Amino acid sequence: MTGPGRRRRPTLADVADIVGVDPSLVSRVLRNDPRGFASTRTRERIVAAAEKIGYRANAAARGLRSSRTMALGLLLPGFTSPVYSAIVHGVEARAKEHGYGLVLGTHAAGDPHETMTSMLMHGSVDALLVASGRIEDQALRRLVQEVPQTVVLVNRQVRGISASVVLRDADAAAVAVRHLVELGHRRICGVFGPATLDTMVRRRHGFATECAANGVESSAIELPERNHAAGFEGAMRALERGNPPTAIVAATFPMAVGVLAALHQRGIAVPSAMSVLALHDDNLASYLIPPLTAVSLPTERLGAEAVELAIAMVGGGQPRRVVVPDEPHIVLRGSTAAP
């Protein structure tokens, strides 16, 4: 019953009546089902009619028919880095395109690992995207064994888990080094997070390989975290060395902000006395002093590709390792210059 004054929710049948086709064809066209054989003109009319009357697919009913919840879980370490916000945006936008909702858990309010995995194991979400490095590899392997075809790692790889989507992290670090070498830098320091994180391993490898290829005197400082404080400490350690670098590559955007703060405190001018470059970019970079040069990586697409893999696996597809193909590139601002 709609009740007096309440507008009835538009249905597939309403769309079908407007276009003059069977409701089953409308359903298949709106779900991009390959069995929805229709001309381009008919497809356009179906989509236009659905938009005109405000038809939205009933995810709950569709889930009952397919034994799916039409929900995905996303586990993050928090929002201390703009990278995670970009991942959420990419995941949410692509999930919405497929008619999926999103359940978000972060470590900011305690450890959500047990809650999120419980939801997965009890069928409250169809798949879990893990973008957190705080869960031990062994715990993830156990989860995949217990609930196969449901876990996708986001910018992380773990031995024994086939489903993952990563960025070209090693290439991003190499792009950073090449930019500094082209400016004339011969002593470059990399400030990285813990080597227990696959992402940091890949970035450090790309950094070291490119420095060696260019005959650059390089050094690497490993910190237990990847935040502002870690970047601050890393810069201080770099300055204490006997022959300090002329440029610092920070493995994350927050670390680069910490590096800038440390150099400001020590009275070292950027970029005239020290160049600073971040792996990952953010709009905030333009408002720092000086504006921060960064290597841009397709983080939103990372989230979107993780959704595509998860939904494919839920539908019976095989887990696989995906590398987002977009090439990292320099966003030139004001924190790098010739030494």
Q: Residues 106-149: pLDDT tens digits?
A: 754 445 556 666 777 667 888 999 998 778 888 888 888 888 88
Q: What's the pLDDT score for residue 2?
A: 46
Q: What's the pLDDT score for residue 38?
A: 77
What's the pTM? 0.78
Residue 158 contacts residue 312 (beta carbons within 8 Å):
no
* Spatial separation of the C-alpha atoms in residues 239 and 76, rounded to whole Å: 33
Q: Say which residue the tokens 């493995």 belong to.
A: 251
> Are the folds of 69-165+297-321 and 168-295 the same?
yes
* Spatial separation of the C-alpha atoms in residues 243 and 239, rounded to whole Å: 8
Please name which of 182, 140, 179, 186 lies closest in space to residue 163, comparing C-alpha atoms: 140
Cα-to-chain-centroid distance, residue 157: 13
Q: What's the pLDDT score for residue 113?
A: 58
Task: Write out the DSSP string of 55-81.
Answer: ----HHHHHHHHT---EEEEEES-SSS
Residue 253 contacts residue 285 (beta carbons within 8 Å):
yes
Pick the CATH number of 69-165+297-321 from 3.30.1300.10, 3.40.50.2020, 3.40.50.2300, 3.40.50.1360: 3.40.50.2300
Model confidence pLDDT, tens digit, residues 11-43: 778 888 999 988 778 877 876 665 567 788 888
Torsion of CA 296, 180, 336, 240, to 10 degrees: 110
Contacts of 306 (CB under 8 A, 6+ apart): 90, 91, 129, 131, 152, 154, 165
Q: What's the pLDDT score for residue 33?
A: 62
Look at the domain 168-295 and name its fold. Rossmann fold (3.40.50)
Q: What's the pLDDT score for residue 242?
A: 85
Q: What's the pLDDT score for residue 107?
A: 59
* Spatial separation of the C-alpha atoms in residues 101 and 220, rounded to whole Å: 41
Q: What is the DSSP code (8-state) at residue 286?
A: G
Q: What's the pLDDT score for residue 56?
A: 66
- Hey, what CATH class is 10-56 in? mainly alpha
Q: What is the DSSP code (8-state) at residue 336?
A: -
Q: In the chain, which residue ranges form alpha helices assigned H by DSSP?
A: 12-19, 23-30, 40-53, 59-66, 82-97, 113-121, 137-146, 169-183, 198-213, 228-240, 253-265, 299-314
Domain boundaries, the chain: 10-56, 69-165+297-321, 168-295
Angle at 206 between CA 199 and CA 302, to 5 degrees: 40
Q: What's the pLDDT score for residue 284?
A: 94
Can you list the residues of the chain whose pLDDT is less than 70? 1-8, 31-36, 56-67, 80, 107-117, 121-122
